[in-house]
Amino acid sequence: MFFGVIAVIAVFFMGALAIPWLQRNRDRPGRAFSDKKPGDFTHPVVIRKPGGVALVDTGKKDSHGQAVMVACATCHDTRDPNFNANSGESLKEFHQGLKTQHGGQTCLSCHNHEDYNTLKRADGRPLDFSESMQLCAQCHGPQYRDYQNGSHGGMTGHWDLKQGPRERNHCTDCHDPHHPKYPLVMPVFPPKPVIGEAIPSADGEKSH
Amino acid sequence: MENQPTSGGCGSGCGCHSDPGGQADATRRNLLKAAGVTLGAAAFAKAISPIVNWSRENLSVDEFLQQHYRELDKEQLAAVMKRLEQDAKKNYGADVTISDHRPQKGVKFGYALNLSVCIGCRRCAEACHHENNHDRATNNSYIRVLEMQKGSMDIEHGNAHYDHPVPHPDKFYMPVQCQQCDNPPCVDVCPVEATWKEDDGIVVVDYNWCIGCRYCEAACPYHARRFNWTKPVIPKAEINPKQSYLSNRIRPQGVMEKCTFCLHRTREGKMPACLEACPTGARVFGNLLDPDSEIRKVIDNKRVFVLKEELGTRPSFFYFFDE
């Protein structure tokens, strides 16, 4: 009986202590959530588009100092297609400095000799320059798959499309179609030693 | 004779005498004592001068009495952030906005990095440096890009000080930043609970509660934490004015800091600064709890791994190679 009374008093006592303690944790910023929720996709994912029509720099400047650009058809409308050409050096004139290193492709593997303002799929169907990702995807399937899954290609904007849009790079933003391998670059922003850090020797091993 | 009291001496039998030679001894001793006391006092003053100066210049009473971030209510936190904005104006001349970004419900952040396409250009580290208001003189950044020998996975043998055109054909490049562990050793060791893991997985620091003991820096197996050895020096024009209390506000001297996955951006739905800066698209960021997110597609379809898995830290940062 006596211990029962003690137990009841103890329970009330603990409750009296616990209730204010629980209430004290309300409205603390450290425990609150933001009112933002991820959810319905309301903003678009925009893929940067390459220009619709290809223009080639003639290397000449006009009277305003602007480069003179010329459309493909200006020359190619009156010439027979050369199906063997696979680099700028193999040509007698024009496209001379064009660096090409893209597998064993010839120019006309991708360019449409019937309409130079378009590209050509592997099956011969024409393809607009603005749709050139489809051309790349014919051979580079794993990369295209990864691109669609969001794990290939740079992007800017929002991870949460509920809160804002996203802009994604096109293949040609990073890869020159004529020599697509990403070039060597010099690293930027060299780290400077902070106090207590050992600078590694030339072989790259840290000296502890 | 030695024990006999002698007139003019001290009388204790210590051997001193009242002759002129004894006078000279006493003077020399006193001089040495005085010199010792002076030198000692000067050394003591010099030793404590950083504390005295630091207290006088930088620590206001409000700051000294400030509560832990998680103990502050809304009004108190607003007052603290206002004071910090005024401090930034006073110390750096910059007009900054300090906000309190909270986690979103149903979000746990994850990050993945494709080691097949990272070229080691360090643009992520540079973007981090500017986004997070790091000290300009030290080139500090939350990201350390390691040049690794192909075939090796030991980050302790990575070299961060490479300086040649990248990528080198025999190397691969592994940027390492805070892995936002689910079992963070840095949080366990903090003696004052100045660092903790938030509901969206980000491990944060209350820079005003941190005592700068650097236990967390020692505990982190990824070398992801940084210490503010000096007061950060940043030109007024280069200060990123969009700041958050737990994230990129300018840190005081003597406290720890760490990557927060740019929570001032990501809790607003934006990508982290390092991802946007990456020229090769090696980085994938998103919500691990959303089965349709890019980060989940990477984890579901790629052979991802985490660094030092054997330590049981359970990172939220994943690495993978293509194919």
In a mutational test of the B interface, the residue from A24, A143, A156, A160 whose CB has the highest number of chain B CBs within 10 Å is: A160
Contact with chain B for residue A149, Cβ under 8 A: yes
**What are the angstrom distances between the C-alpha of B185 and each of B153, B218, B221?**
21, 10, 8
Q: Which residues of A touch B115 (CB under 8 A)?
A: none
Mean pLDDT of chain A: 82
Reduced to 3 states (helix: H, G, I; strand: E, B; else coil), residue A102 is strand
CA dihedral B136→B141→B147→B148, nearest 10 degrees, is: 160
Whether residue A24 is predicted with pLDDT greater than 60 in this model: the reply is: no
Q: pLDDT tier at A26 (50, 70, 90 boundaries)?
A: low
CA separation for the pair B210, A132 (Å, rounded)? 54
Cis peptide before A191 (omega within 30 of 0): no
CA separation for the pair B194, B282 (Å, rounded)? 33
Contact with chain A for residue B199, Cβ under 8 A: yes
- In what helix (H) or strand (E) does residue B58 lie, and over which residues does it extend? helix B20-58
Spatial contact of A162 and A38, defined as CB atoms under 8 Å apart: yes
Which of left, alpha, beta for A98 (phi over 0: left; psi -120 to 50: alpha)? Answer: beta
Report which of B270, B266, B264 is spatially closest to residue B246, judged by C-alpha positions: B264
Output b/e per residue, A124-160; b: 16+ Cβ within 10 A: eeebebeebbebbeeebeebbebbebbbbbbbebbbb
Would the CB atoms of A188 and B102 count as touching at under 8 Å? no
pLDDT at position A89: 79
Quick one: fold of B109-320?
A: Alpha-Beta Plaits (3.30.70)
Spatial contact of B272 and A155, defined as CB atoms under 8 Å apart: no
Picking from B147, B159, B298, the nearest residue to A151 by CB comes out as B298
Length of chain A: 208
pLDDT at position A94: 82
CA atoms within 13 A on the CB side of B229: 10
Q: pLDDT tier at B174 (50, 70, 90 boundaries)?
A: very high
Q: Which residues of B touch A167 (CB under 8 A)?
A: none
CA separation for the pair B84, B250 (Å, rounded)? 9
Whether residue B13 is predicted with pLDDT greater than 60 in this model: the reply is: no
Whether residue B32 is predicted with pLDDT greater than 70 in this model: the reply is: yes
Q: What is the pLDDT of residues A167-200, one digit of tens each?
A: 999 999 999 999 999 999 999 999 887 665 666 5
Whether residue A162 is predicted with pLDDT greater than 50 in this model: the reply is: yes
Q: What is the mean pLDDT of residues B261-286?
A: 96
Task: Tell which B residues from 235 to 264 touch A, by Cβ distance under 8 Å.
Answer: none
Whether residue B202 is predicted with pLDDT greater than 60 in this model: the reply is: yes
Picking from B138, B229, B302, the nearest residue to A192 by CB comes out as B138
Q: Which residue's entry shows tokens 């090769």? A: B280
CA separation for the pair B82, B89 (Å, rounded)? 11
Q: How many Cβ atoms are within 10 Å of B150's Cβ, its own excluded?
A: 9
CA separation for the pair B147, B126 (Å, rounded)? 16
For A88, phi and psi rounded to 5 degrees? -65, -35
Residues 6+ apart with CB under 8 A from B215: B189, B190, B191
Whether residue A29 is predicted with pLDDT greater than 80 in this model: the reply is: no
Q: What is the pLDDT of residues B115-150, one digit of tens each?
A: 999 999 999 999 999 999 999 988 999 999 999 999
Strands B109-114 and B317-320: parallel
% of chain B surpassing 70 pLDDT: 90
Would the CB atoms of A184 and B270 count as touching at under 8 Å? no
pLDDT at position B158: 93
- In what helix (H) or strand (E) does residue A57 lie, and over which residues does it extend? strand A55-61
Would the CB atoms of A194 and B70 count as touching at under 8 Å? no
pLDDT at position B9: 47
Q: Which residue's entry shows tokens 């597998």? A: A103
**What are the angstrom distances between the C-alpha of B253 and each of B26, B135, B164, B257?**
49, 11, 34, 10
Q: What is the mean pLDDT of residues B297-309?
A: 95
Whether residue A65 is predicted with pLDDT greater than 90 in this model: the reply is: no
pLDDT at position A204: 47
Q: pLDDT tier at B2 (50, 70, 90 boundaries)?
A: very low
**What are the angstrom distances between the C-alpha of A110 and each of A90, A92, A171, B165?**
17, 21, 15, 32
Would the CB atoms of B286 and A159 count as touching at under 8 Å? yes
Q: What is the ipTM of this complex?
A: 0.77
Give me the amino acid identity at B104.
Q
The region of weakest confidence among A45-59, B204-218, B226-240, B256-270 is A45-59
Give the DSSP letter string of B92-149: H----EEE-PPPBTT--EEEEEETTT-----HHHHHHHHHTT--TTTT--S-EEEEEE
In a mutational test of the A interface, the residue from B124, B171, B270 whose CB has the highest number of chain A CBs within 10 Å is: B270
Reduced to 3 states (helix: H, G, I; strand: E, B; else coil), residue B295 is helix
> B299 has which bridge partners?
none
Distance from CA of B113 to the nearest CA of A (A): 9
Q: What is the pLDDT of residues A78-135, one digit of tens each?
A: 888 888 888 887 787 788 878 888 988 899 999 999 988 899 999 999 999 889 999 9
Task: Tell which A residues from 50 to 89 touch B, by Cβ distance under 8 Å.
Answer: none
Q: What is the mean pLDDT of residues A72-81?
A: 86
Q: How many Cβ atoms are within 10 Å of A62's Cβ, its own excluded?
A: 10
The region of weakest confidence among A113-117, B57-61, B74-78, B302-306 is B57-61
Task: Tell which B residues from 127 to 186 touch A, by Cβ distance under 8 Å.
Answer: 129, 137-141, 144-145, 147, 156-157, 159-167
